[in-house]
């Protein structure tokens, strides 16, 4: 079960599907960022050995997703390149407390929420895209994203206990819902996606 406090609006898919190349390039960046976040956690929290192997496996899986999206971009003749980051993750990270152990708890739960939102939107894309190849890509990926959501909740629960995790997850999920609602109107995995072209 995903812990999101809001649902994406029903026409999000029809808006982002007008610009599938931006959606895919942005998606590639999201996979790359997910891998790099996991690797950063491995460096920062080496004192917690139980986090190492799960985060390492997670980083590899996100890099495999990155390569999958790169392949599709190449097959469609769309170059991968820099893209200004969506403010979604930046705004989410503002709720992460700077002192430990809260920093670790909040970081794991923000990762869980990002995975949950990706999973929710991939399901919308899998069900709603007329482009069969893209719909298949998202159908293939959404199960992993649901698993990733659970992974981060479980890692947090292992260290902080279920009650602390559920309380803070509720607060951060409300924040995440406000961030999604306030996103600029652009074609992104994590935007409101009110694309007018
Ligand atoms: Fe992924
Ligand atoms: Fe993921």
Crossing angle of the two packed helices 132-160 and 20-44, in degrees rounded to 10: 20
* Cα 111 to ligand 2 centre (Å): 9
CA of 197 to the centre of ligand 2 (A): 29
pLDDT digits (tens, 9 = 90+) for 40-97: 999 999 999 999 999 999 999 999 999 999 999 999 999 999 988 788 888 999 999 9
Mean pLDDT of 149-160: 97
Ligand 1 centroid – CA 196 distance (Å) = 27
Kindly give the distance from the C-alpha atom of residue 97 to the centroid of ligand 2, in angstroms, as a whole number.
23
**What pLDDT shows up at residue 16?**
86
Dihedral over Cα of 143, 146, 148, 151: its sign: negative
> Does the structure show a pLDDT above 70 at 119?
yes
- Nearest ligand for residue 152 CA: 2
How far, in Å, from the CA of 149 to the mean position of ligand 2?
7
pLDDT at 193: 39
How high is the mean pLDDT of the chain? 91
Q: What is the pLDDT of residue 18?
A: 86
Q: 19-23, 65-69, 118-122, 128-132: which has the highest mean pLDDT? A: 65-69
Interacting residues of 104 by C-beta distance below 8 A, sequence separation 6+:
45, 48, 159
How many angstroms separate the CA atoms of 87 and 191, rounded? 9
pLDDT value of position 186: 59
Average pLDDT over every residue of 34-42: 97
- Cα of 80 vs centre of ligand 1, distance in Å, is 17
- What pLDDT does 187 receive? 62
In terms of C-beta density within 10 A (0-12 exposed, 13-18 middle, 19 or more buried), how is residue 173 classed?
buried
pLDDT at 130: 92
Please return the burial class of 78, using the count of CB atoms within 10 Å of its CB with bins 0-12, 13-18 and 19+: middle
- Cα 111 to middle of ligand 1, angstroms: 12
What tokens appear for 127 in the block? 């069900």
CA 99 – ligand 2 centroid, Å: 26
Residue 43 burial by CB count (10 A; 0-12/13-18/19+): exposed, middle or buried? exposed
**28 CA to middle of ligand 1, Å?**
9
pLDDT at residue number 191: 57
188 against 111, higher pLDDT: 111
CA distances from 156 to 10, 12, 63 (A): 31, 31, 23
**Which pLDDT score is estimated for 10?**
76
pLDDT of res. 1: 65
Mean pLDDT on 98-106: 98
Contact assessment for residue 42 and residue 59, using Cβ atoms and an 8 Å cutoff: yes
Cα 5 to averaged position of ligand 2 atoms, centre (Å):
19
């Amino acid at each position: 079960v995903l812990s999101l406090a809001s649902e994406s609006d029903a026409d999000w898919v029809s808006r982002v599907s007008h610009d599938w190349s931006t959606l895919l390039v942005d998606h590639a960046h999201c996979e790359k960022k997910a891998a790099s976040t996991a690797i950063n956690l491995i460096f920062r929290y080496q004192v917690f050995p139980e986090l190492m192997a799960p985060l390492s496996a997670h980083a590899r899986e996100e890099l495999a997703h990155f390569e999958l999206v790169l392949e599709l971009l190449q097959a469609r003749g769309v170059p991968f390149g820099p893209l200004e980051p969506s403010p979604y993750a930046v705004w989410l990270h503002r709720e992460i407390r700077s002192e430990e152990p809260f920093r670790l708890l909040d970081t794991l739960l923000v990762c869980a929420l990002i995975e949950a939102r990706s999973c929710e939107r991939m399901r919308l894309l899998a069900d709603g895209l007329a482009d069969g190849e893209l719909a298949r890509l998202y159908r293939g990926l959404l199960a992993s994203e649901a698993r990733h959501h659970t992974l981060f909740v479980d890692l947090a629960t292992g260290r902080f206990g279920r009650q602390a995790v559920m309380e803070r997850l509720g607060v951060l999920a409300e924040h995440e819902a406000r961030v999604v609602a306030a996103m600029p109107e652009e074609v992104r995995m994590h935007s409101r996606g009110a694309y007018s072209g």
